[in-house]
């Protein structure tokens, strides 16, 4: 199972569009996870147009009219993904996200996915693997556009960073 993991599009408030290289990776994936901050219904529609199998959550900059929830879970390739934006202070970000993941996790291998900081992250916090793909558009304060792809199979997860 190939998964594209993105966050923090910020279209149109900080960036005009999601770059073609990122859209191509989303299009090629079996499933796309977006950890919030689309910023507009058009940005959400653009992602949905290339990712008919999409798990997405609301970010702090998303209008409530998008109808996205704060936390979603999806199991892909035997790995449960708990997706949240991670809204709040940078100071306790990792612990806050790990707590949300632990609160929503089921049995078996679980990975937390969050955005908000626009900084790449792949580390274990309080026994939970946390992934942050950065900003798919390179929206400030990011210095470059980044995303993750992952291969999930039999409960194992292999993650690759992509940047432009």
| 28: CATH | 3.60.21.10
> Quick one: pLDDT at residue 25?
97
Provide the domain limits for residue 95. 2-163
Q: What is the pTM of this model?
A: 0.97
As to burial, measured by CB atoms within 10 angstroms (0-12 exposed, 13-18 middle, 19+ buried), residue 122 is: middle
* Rounded distance between C-alpha atoms, residue 31 and residue 2, angstroms: 7
Q: What is the pLDDT of residues 2-43, one digit of tens each?
A: 999 999 999 999 999 999 999 999 999 999 999 999 999 999
> Quick one: pLDDT at residue 126?
87
Three-state SS for 157?
Answer: strand
> Quick one: pLDDT at residue 152?
97
Using the 8-state DSSP alphabet, how is residue 152 labeled?
Answer: E
Give the model's confidence band at 69: pLDDT under 50 very low, under 70 low, under 90 confident, else very high.
Answer: very high
Check whether 56 has a pLDDT greater than 90. Answer: yes
Q: What is the mean pLDDT of residues 74-81?
A: 97
Nearest by Cα to 157 from 108, 117, 120, 90: 108
> Quick one: pLDDT at residue 108?
87
3-state secondary structure 76-143: ECCEEEEEECCCCCCCCHHHHHHHHHHHHCCCCCEEEECCCCCCEEEEEECCEEEEEECCCCCCCCCC
Residue that the structure tokens 């809204």 belong to: 87
Q: Which residues contact 13 (CB under 8 A, 6 or more apart)?
A: 39, 40, 61
* Rounded distance between C-alpha atoms, residue 112 and residue 27, angstroms: 22
Q: How many domains does the chain have?
A: 1
Q: What is the pLDDT of residues 91-133, one digit of tens each?
A: 999 999 999 999 999 988 999 999 999 999 999 998 899 999 9
Pair 30, 8: CB distance under 8 Å = no
> Quick one: pLDDT at residue 164?
87
> Quick one: pLDDT at residue 136?
98
């Amino acid at each position: 199972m190939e998964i594209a993991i993105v966050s923090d599009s910020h279209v149109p408030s900080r960036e005009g569009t999601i770059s073609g290289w990122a859209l191509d990776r989303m299009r090629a994936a079996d499933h796309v996870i977006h950890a919030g901050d689309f910023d507009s219904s058009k940005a959400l529609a653009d992602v949905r147009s290339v990712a008919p199998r999409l798990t997405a959550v609301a970010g702090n900059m998303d209008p409530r009219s998008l109808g996205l929830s704060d936390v979603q879970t999806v199991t892909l390739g035997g790995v449960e993904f708990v997706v949240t934006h991670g809204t709040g202070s940078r100071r306790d970000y990792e612990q806050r996200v790990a707590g949300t993941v632990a609160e929503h996790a089921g049995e078996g291998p679980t990975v937390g996915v969050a955005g908000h900081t626009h900084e790449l992250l792949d580390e274990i916090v309080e026994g939970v693997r946390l992934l942050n793909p950065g900003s798919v558009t390179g929206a400030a304060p990011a210095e470059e556009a980044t995303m993750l792809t992952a291969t999930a199979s039999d409960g194992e997860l292999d993650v690759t960073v992509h940047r432009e």
